[in-house]
Amino acid sequence: MQPSSSRSSLAALTLGAIGVVYGDIGTSVLYAVKEVFRSGHVAYTPANVYGVLSLLFWTLSVIVSLKYVVLVLRADNRGEGGLVAMLALAAEAVQDKPRLHGVLMAVGLFGACLFYGDGVITPAISVLSAVEGLEVVAPAMEHVVIPVTLAVLLFLFSMQKRGTASIGRWFGPITLLWFAVLAALGVGQIVHHPEILSALWPGHALRFVLGQPGTAFILLGAVVLCVTGAEALYADLGHFGKKPIRLAWFSAVMPALTLNYLGQGALLLDQPDAVRNPFFLMAPSWATLPLVVLATMATVIASQALISGAFSITKQVMQLGYLPRLTVLHTSTRDTGQIYMPFVNWALFIAIAMAVVMFRNSDNLAAAYGLAVTLDMLITTTLTFFVIRYLWRYPLWLCVLSTSCFFAVDILFFASNALKLAAGGWFPLLIAGSVYLLMRTWRRGRTLLSEQHRADAVDLPSFLEGLQHANVQRVDGTAVFITSEEGLVPPALLHNLKHNKVLHTQNLFVVLRHHEVPWIGLGQRAQVEALGSGCWQVVLHFGFKNDPNVPDALHQAELPGWKLDPMRTSYFLSREVIIPRMGGRMALWREKLFAQMHAGASGAAGFLHLPANAVVELGTKVHL
């Protein structure tokens, strides 16, 4: 690649990272400073203004710049990032320690569930904070804030089925404009009080903490609002790469955020009553309404990143076997990562609308925010330790040194936010706990179902040997039996023989294996073993970001002597009906929950991309 072309590509990726990765953290200026000073815990004095601003700046520097941008971004899983990718790395690192592996999987999955709690609170507080700017334009408009917020959110979620390809190209330029406006607003106030720049000196934060440790500890629950969306840095690693994400942060995002926070502090030094909404009051009156519009656009973009992330993480968890199949629609012919999941989309909207209606304003939502995200940060730090210690094999002292500082910071922020549990912190935890319960129930149910199949199944080699002596009519064509276990006769085959009394000329017994890695290449996709009597055992391997397209994978597979003919191939599936019963190996209510999840799962045919006119489904009843 030519240097000019390389620079152009880097610039495009950096602009994209500004739009997608940093939209969330870029809107935290709407409410972070306001919530710190309106909490009622800190006396309003110039010294406290300097101390709080210094805390905000160094929180951004330690958590975002050092932890995420410098350290965590290094932990890429074959180019992919995010908590699920980190979990897969950590699980791989301790594969030889089964008990530790199980604990890390449980902790990491709960961290993934916390993403849903964050994904509900963050769009709600961001959009609501932006629309609340209408109150600055005209206080009489207070009553329209919630209806307008819900209308904006409804529009956003109703557009998801169209995909982000058509509107995504505007994300970068609009968000870049947003950061430019943030910097300009900040500079406009700083010129009147240039001494506010001294707040960057860490001594102010240290003096504030040592002078009033109790107050500082409580305020950490509001200070953490400045790092909303920090997890997106890592989650979007696979889309943009490390260099564009780092370049965007240090060249545009971090300077703009710093200038805006300093500008809000300068305004408060000059007009203490501006604490009711310092962000919008920084702007001249003629610019307030356009700023509300731009802020709303910025929060919509920030929310879009979280919604897309929810689709992506749900699909990954499905691939790992912790959620039932859900309908996945691809919205782009070029980018396989652009997907739409109707159930997740509208479940998120309902939860976010509930949050807006229940909490009523951004102040109340700020009380609900923080507990889930700080616990997520704590889990990320914990998983990072196991990756660098057991996978990268760094010395123990270096691993402890590099993570203990971040661990201590995360613990402090988490402990402070735990004080907000009764004030609203329970809401995202309730969402995360509910999703975690569903995941564990589904995983346990699938394990019991698998054990039941093995207990009732017939050994495949013995069965095929018996077929050689049986008078079974053969019909032309290929039968593909999707099964969950190697070496066992698929229930669909037994039902086909029982009811139709025929066997196809060629029979493929296909087992799908999903692995704790993001991608598995086509060269490693299929393992084929000839079983004789026109039968083959085929194992297809997929990563948690691969699309499980069975016909394509079989077409690419090296089947000895022949190729799969789509016009002469039938796919046989077993559809189990789960019958809950007392005295099973799960509590009756969990068996009923599993049965409902199993019945509500989308069809395997669509999930595996099987041609609808070539699928035969045979049902069975199963008692767990």
386 closest CA partner among 396, 377, 376: 396
User: Domains plus CATH for the chain?
Assistant: 3-443 (1.20.1740.10), 458-623 (no CATH)
For residues 576 and 291, the model is more confident at 291
Query: Tokens in use for 549?
Result: 């397209």
- 398: CB partners within 8 A, 6+ apart: 388
pLDDT, mean of residues 381-392: 91
Q: 127 is written with which tokens?
A: 């959009």
The least confident of 158-172, 300-314, 548-562, 600-614 is 158-172
How many residues are listed for the chain in this entry? 624
Tell me what the pLDDT averaged over the chain comes to.
87
Percent of the chain with pLDDT over 70: 96
Q: Which is more confident, 326 or 20?
A: 326
pLDDT for 334 equals 58
Which sign, positive or negative, has the C-alpha torsion 474, 475, 478, 482? Answer: negative
Return the H-helix or E-strand segment holding 540: strand 535-543
Q: What's the pLDDT band for 414 if we cut at 50, 70, 90?
A: very high
User: Which pLDDT value is given to residue 3?
Assistant: 54
Residue 509: strand, helix, or coil: strand
Q: In which band, very low, low, confident or very high, does the pLDDT at 71 lie, cut at 50, 70 and 90?
A: confident
Across-strand partners of 502?
473
Taking residues 11-21, what's their average pLDDT?
84
- Between CA 230 and CA 366 the distance in angstroms is 16
- The residue whose two tokens read 């010395």 is 395
441/459 Cα distance (integer angstroms): 29
Task: Answer yes or no: is pLDDT of 576 > 50.
Answer: yes
Whether the pLDDT of residue 535 is over 60: the answer is yes
> Does residue 336 carry a pLDDT above 60?
no
* 112-121, 426-435, 461-470, 541-550: least confident range: 461-470
Q: Which residue has the higher pLDDT, 5 or 269?
A: 269
> How confident is residue 169, by pLDDT bands cut at 50, 70 and 90?
low
Identify any residues that bridge with 330 across adjacent strands, giving them in sequence order: 339
95 backbone dihedrals φ, ψ, rounded to 5°: -60, -30
What phi, psi does 303 have (nearest 5°)?
-65, -35
Query: What pLDDT does residue 113 have?
Result: 92
355 Cβ contact partners less than 8 Å away, ≥ 6 residues apart: 120, 121, 124, 365, 368, 427
CA-CA distance, 199 to 191, in Å (whole number)? 15
More confident residue, 622 or 358: 358
Residue 321 Rama label (left phi>0; alpha psi -120 to 50; beta): left
How far is Cα 126 from Cα 362, in angstroms, rounded to an integer? Answer: 8
3-state secondary structure of 196: helix
Instruction: Give the SS3 label for residue 531.
Output: strand
User: What is d(CA 22, CA 28) in angstroms, rounded to the nearest whole number?
Assistant: 10
User: Is the predicted pLDDT of residue 280 greater than 70, yes or no?
Assistant: yes
Q: Are 530 and 560 in contact (CB under 8 A)?
A: yes
Average the pLDDT over each of 73-87, 94-108, 352-366 and give the range with the smallest value.
73-87
pLDDT tens for each residue of 29-48: 999 998 888 766 777 789 99
**Interatomic CA distance for residues 555 and 569, integer angstroms:** 11
pLDDT classification of 172: cutoffs 50, 70, 90: confident
Predicted confidence at residue 1, as pLDDT, reads: 44
Work out the pLDDT band at 117, boundaries 50, 70, 90.
confident
Instruction: State residue 480 phi and psi, 5-degree precision.
Output: -110, 115
Determine what percent of the chain is predicted with pLDDT higher than 90.
41
- Residue 139: is its pLDDT beyond 60? yes
Q: What angle do CA 23, 29, 33 make, to 5 degrees?
A: 155
Query: Phi/psi at 21 (nearest 5 deg)?
Result: -75, -40
Q: What is the mean pLDDT of residues 355-381?
A: 88
- Parallel/antiparallel/unpaired status of strands 502-515 and 526-532: unpaired
- The tokens for 349 are 């909207």
The whole-model pTM stands at 0.85
Say if residue 427's pLDDT is above 60: yes
Helix H or strand E encompassing 569: strand 569-579
pLDDT of 561 above 70: no
The predicted pLDDT at position 5 comes to 56
Residue pair 104/386 in contact by the 8 Å Cβ criterion = yes
468 pLDDT above the threshold of 80: no
Tokens of 602: 């989308």
Give 451-463 pLDDT, tens digit per residue: 887 777 788 888 8
Question: Which is nearest to 356 in space by CA: 542, 584, 153?
Answer: 153
Q: What is the C-alpha to C-alpha distance for residues 481 and 35, in angstroms, rounded to an integer?
A: 59
For residues 176 and 252, is the Cβ–Cβ distance under 8 A? Answer: yes
pLDDT recorded at residue 52? 94
Rounded CA gap, 484 and 509, in Å?
10
Instruction: Kindly report the number of other CB atoms within 10 A of residue 91's CB atom.
Output: 21
Angstrom distances, CA of residue 90 to CA of 74, 76, 208, 392, 406:
14, 11, 38, 10, 18
H-assigned helices in 276-425:
278-281, 288-319, 342-359, 362-368, 371-386, 396-418
